[in-house]
Amino acid sequence: MQRLAFVVIPTLWAGLLALPSALAQSASTDQSSSASVSAAQNSPDDSGAQNPLKRPLSDKEKFKQQKELKNELKGPYKKWVNEDVRWIITDEELKAFKSLSNDEERDNFIENFWERRNPSPDSPENTYREEIYRRIAYANEHFAAGKPGWLTDRGHIYIAYGPPNNIDSHPAGGMYERPIDEGGGETSTYPFEVWNYHYIDGIGENIEVEFVDTCMCGDYHMTLDRSEKDALLHVPGAGATLMEQMGMAKRQDRYTGGLESLGKGPVTGGQSKEFDRLTQYAKLQSAPVVKFTDLEGFLVNHKVLTGPFFPFEVRTDYVKVTEDTVLVPLTLQVSNRDITFVTKEGVARGEVNVLGRVATITDHVVQTFEQTLEVEEPSELLGQALTQQSVRWWALPLRPGRYRVDIAIKDVNNPDHIGTWAEGIVVPKYDDEKLSASSLILADKMEQVPTKQIGTGQFIIGNTFVRPRVGSGPSDSVVFHRSQKLNFWMQVYNLGIDDKSRQNSATIQYQILDMATNKAILDTSESSKAVAANSANSDQLTLEKSVPLGGLQPGRYQVKITVNDSVSKQQIAQSAPFTVE
């Protein structure tokens, strides 16, 4: 069985390596300037007398000047330093910025601040800056709690490190079975979330960040103490741990000091783990660095490949979010046969770095993404794994319009093995009055997900796990085997609602056509009211169907879905080719 692990490398393009020298140079310049000013203040004028305008300032005058300079930090400059770069500016930079005396100096500082972090200094656009502002907008939309989302702890971590790989969310709290390293046993909790990052550069692997809403007001704060979410921690006789239930520990043992008030359990080494948690907490306050700067040149400058080309396929789909926002699921597929594997201690391991960006037709970068795709197999099963594909998925929110998508990949175990892909896409605009549909996605796996996973994670759209098959070649036809099921997914938007019944009324026709004869192998239909129990009064439908392929002969086919809306008198159709082997 193939095992895939995807390691997140945050997309913060930071030129931090150059920062110490830049600050040192700035400090040196400041010292020279101070010396020059001091000399000028104490030097006599042409008449031989000391110039009263250049005399040394008294302590009272210096304090007044500093207060005036501080009061000048207002408007856009105050917002920039207190909000825009709050989680990425260093203490040294903050101190230097607050010491500036006029707007011209502040403008130069801000320009240099972003340029130091620009992964492509020769490019007119700064992908690092664009990504930071995108994350701020997302945090404001999703994490606000009586204060702006960027100011919350969840907003802080999201802006600094981007979206986590997984979220274990308990928005209502309630009954909770403690893991054994938290003492075991059942208790009741406040609302809490645990964010998991597979990897954060400079911090480590499998990073878990826990947030707790102890005020029950939606303001989740980051905590070092895993027992803080326990609502029964200080309630006598309630929420006993496993060992307390067995009489092998006492409740007061939890309050013996230390970072966490967890019950005793079979797991040892708690003090060292507390130190690790403190270290991780401190590191999370630092700005991460960009990982794949070596691939940036292939996207920005379109460098010529000198080694063997690394082939891969990409599929783009479109799903409506709002009238002005479209989710663009982007699926990348790599054949394991093209990955270089290194075998060590009986395990064959391959790694592929992926870097991508989305830009407007004026080369304005609006999205960037980067990941490491890992494939690990026991060495004796490598031959079987080489016949399979590895896929990765990104869900990019974009506004309607024309874009260019650039992707570069590199075989980590064979650095000269690099591949690039570029294509123009048109993100559709879904008008409210026009019957329309998402992409028709043919998937090799489709299933409902638990409530806590809705809307998050790999291949998840809404409440459904949909893993698209990616086609290859000019026909872009995806391949299925007769032993598999053909799964297809599509959403329909802007169905008409009858004024009297307040319900929709449409017919959905499903067809599978033999492309050799253009005859329908399958032809069936259903009403919009039968699609789902709660769909009758909705202007949107989600169509999810699975069809066994055992009855089809090898050949090329096409799925076609036609929607006839009897209320709005409109019709739409979507189709997608596939091949059965």
The C-alpha atoms of residue 359 and residue 127 are separated, in whole angstroms, by: 10
Summarised one tens digit per residue, pLDDT across range 460-518 is 888 899 999 998 654 567 899 999 999 999 999 999 998 888 889 999 999 999 999 98
- The whole-number pLDDT of residue 331 equals 93
Q: Most confidently modeled of 101-105, 256-260, 327-331?
A: 327-331
pLDDT band at 47 (very low <50, low <70, confident <90, very high): very low
- Average pLDDT on 158-178 reads 89
Choose the weakest-confidence range: 159-168, 429-438, 454-463. Answer: 454-463
- The whole-number pLDDT of residue 378 equals 92
- The whole-number pLDDT of residue 64 equals 63
Q: Most confidently modeled of 3-7, 40-44, 465-469?
A: 465-469
Rg (CA), the chain: 29
pLDDT band at 59 (very low <50, low <70, confident <90, very high): low
What does DSSP say about strands 478-480 and 570-580: parallel, antiparallel, or unpaired? Answer: parallel
The C-alpha atoms of residue 454 and residue 463 are separated, in whole angstroms, by: 5
Torsions phi, psi for 33 (to 5 deg): -65, -40
Which of 103, 105, 104, 126 minimizes the C-alpha distance to 115?
126
- The whole-number pLDDT of residue 297 equals 63
Q: Which two tokens stand for residue 117?
A: 């972090």
In the chain, domain spans: 131-283, 292-430, 433-581
- Which amino acid is it at 82? N
Q: Which two tokens stand for residue 336?
A: 């394991």
What residues pair up with 423 in beta bridges, in sequence order? 405
- CATH code for the part of the protein at 433-581: 2.60.40.3880
pLDDT band at 18 (very low <50, low <70, confident <90, very high): very low
Give the orientation angle of helix 19-42 with respect to helix 103-116, to 10 degrees: 160
Cβ pair 167, 225 in contact under 8 A: no
pTM of the predicted model as reported, rounded to 2 decimal places: 0.53
Q: 248-254 long-range contacts, Cβ below 8 Å, gap at least 24?
A: 254/183, 254/227
The C-alpha atoms of residue 509 and residue 492 are separated, in whole angstroms, by: 13
CA distances to 16, 202, 318, 581 from 113, in Å: 10, 21, 36, 56
In percent, the amount of the chain with pLDDT more than 90 equals: 34
Instruction: Say yes or no to pLDDT of 441 above 90.
Output: yes
The C-alpha atoms of residue 522 and residue 218 are separated, in whole angstroms, by: 50
In percent, the amount of the chain with pLDDT more than 70 equals: 78
What is the homologous superfamily of the domain 292-430 according to CATH? Immunoglobulins (2.60.40.10)
CA distances to 90, 497, 504, 506, 567 from 500, in Å: 62, 9, 11, 16, 11
What residues pair up with 186 in beta bridges, in sequence order? 177
- The whole-number pLDDT of residue 494 equals 92
What does DSSP say about strands 166-170 and 389-398: parallel, antiparallel, or unpaired? Answer: unpaired
Summarised one tens digit per residue, pLDDT across range 472-486 is 654 567 899 999 999
Q: Which carries the bigger pLDDT value, residue 226 or residue 293?
A: 226
Summarised one tens digit per residue, pLDDT across range 256-289 is 666 777 776 655 444 446 667 778 888 887 655 5
Cβ pair 441, 468 in contact under 8 A: yes
The C-alpha atoms of residue 473 and residue 313 are separated, in whole angstroms, by: 9
Q: Which two tokens stand for residue 339?
A: 């990955």
Q: Is 433-581 the same fold as 292-430?
A: yes
The C-alpha atoms of residue 541 and residue 33 are separated, in whole angstroms, by: 68
